[in-house]
Amino acid sequence: MLLLAAQWLLLQQTLHVVPLLPAAGVALLGGLLCAMLARVPQRASAASPQESADAERMMGLALHGRGDLLEAFARFRPLPTSDALKDNLYHLGKDFERKKDYAHAKKVFKHLLRRDMEYKDARACYRRAKAHLLAQAGMAADSVASGISVTGASSLPASVQETFPRHKVPEPLAHYDLKHELGQGAMGVVYQGRDLRSGQIVAIKTLALQQEFDGAALVDARERFFKEAEAASRLQHPHIVAIYGSGEEQGLAYIAMEFVAGTDLSAFTQPAYLLPVAQVLSIAHRVAQSLDYAHAHNVVHRDVKPANIMWDAATDTVKVMDFGVARITDASKTRTGIVLGTPSFMSPEQLSGAKVDGRADLYALGVTLFQLLTGSLPLRADSMPELMRKIVHVDPPDIRTFRTDLPEAVARLVAKALRKLPAERYQTGQQLAQDLAYVMGIVASEVPGSPASAVVYDSGRTPTGQHMVDLEKTVLEYPTERAPEQRSVVASVG
């Protein structure tokens, strides 16, 4: 347009014709061509924003699973609408409801309704959260008018840690002499104590159910807690921390467990403090056996990692911890979209929110082996979304790129444990334990046999070795028949 205007002005002012029309045509064609070319990269990279959105959504799921609901909502809020995201927002709003955080529940459901007005019962959930907020505002106004404080309405104190030294310990915890706090974790507070009936040193893990849930959610949480405690208490295996009993009083649930000696294996994940290869394989062999036993009884750990494996160097004792917070493999009881576990040790299917089985634990044991042998995780990244993307899509490196002195058999074993598809991994803990025994023979220059044959995963198989004991001997009645040497020392913090 400028060129055509210039040609017209020159003609009017100087009466000379300057042929600028061809130049204007060239400029117009060039502009159109540039515009067309600019659109080509956009179409070619259309998958990149989608991958980024999926990574952000998985990061939100991981935060949600850890209980960081506000951070999870911040991740979900800017993402494009999808069926998976709507489901994630719905469950996030439900969890805010369970925590009685109705202000954020209202925000989440409102955000969901802007994307889909007819999604499940989101509209009713939004109205319910709004009604709770109005009721709370009315109660606060009445309390201010009458000079009554509404804080501390619950019969439970704000911290379980403060409950015991300041108040009478509720039954049935009264027959435990609680010494001191061992630590705090996602499931509550863990104390060291002594059973006054037997004199045995125990660890007491507590969870204030009424502070975390209410209504129907409280009933469901209580049912899950004791169902899982019951299953864990019947896992009588020499390499699993024993559960002695469980109970609840005034909304305070607890699990009494074996107090285990030694230190967890996270102390041996640094390059300067690695254990000998033979020792690592021996520990992993016993962990694989314990996982096989648990999986055969439909209990999946979901958080196998060095910090949850205790080892006592003096007695060479190995104990897998935190089966008390494991999940029963019951599809009807699985909450869609919730990710549990430590991201670096989680299997691809666990990160994506899919249904998991015992093979996810075997993947985590493979990551544990990799870290204990090299002092490094197989996949690392600068951000959590990038790490999660790599776990799902990128094959881990050969372990010998980190440590060239490892035998090829060790590399093959670890690589098989870290396969992306569950069907391509070890199918049972027993199969992995057999290969570990074979590799241990190679490391010791004594090959006892051949690797295990192919196995197909079967959650209903008959367990080998140990057998689960009756409920009455573990939850309802104290197991006095345990040998004194097995009543040893440090429990995990869930």
**pLDDT (0 to 100) of residue 460:** 62
> What pLDDT score does 290 carry?
94
Strands in 297-428 per DSSP E: 299-300, 309-312, 317-320, 327-328
pLDDT, tens digit, 9 for 90 and up, residues 307-325 = 889 999 889 999 998 775 5
Residue 216's pLDDT is 65
420: closest CA among 481, 368, 367?
A: 367
Q: With contact defined as beta carbons under 8 Å apart, do 295 and 358 qualify?
A: yes
Within its chain, how far is the Cα of 296 from the centroid? 22
Radius of gyration, CA atoms only, the chain: 30
Residues of the chain with pLDDT under 50: 42-47, 143-170, 328-340, 446-450, 453, 469-494
Spatial distance between the Cα atoms of 255 and 3, rounded to a whole number of angstroms: 84
What domains does the chain contain, in order, with CATH numbers? Answer: 49-146 (1.25.40.10), 160-257 (3.30.200.20), 261-486 (1.10.510.10)
Q: Residue 221 region, left (φ>0) first, then alpha (ψ -120 to 50), else beta?
A: alpha
pLDDT score of 2 = 84
Query: Model pTM?
Result: 0.60
User: What pLDDT was estimated at residue 474?
Assistant: 37
Among all chains, which residue has been given the structure tokens 């061809």?
22
Catalytic residue ranges: 303
Predicted pLDDT at 218? 67
pLDDT, residue 416, reads: 96
Contact yes or no for 335/270 (Cβ under 8 A)? no
Q: In this predicted model, what pLDDT tens digit does every residue of 239-267 receive, in sequence order?
A: 998 888 777 766 677 888 888 878 889 88
Cis peptide before 451 (omega within 30 of 0): no
pLDDT value for 74: 87
The predicted pLDDT at position 369 comes to: 96
419 closest CA partner among 363, 470, 492: 363
**What pLDDT is recorded for position 197?**
81
Q: What is the DSSP string of 130-194?
A: HHHHHHHHHHHHHHHHHT---TT-SSS-S-HHHHHHHSPPPTTGGGEEEEEEEEEETTEEEEEEE
Tokens (6 digits) for 232: 């864990």
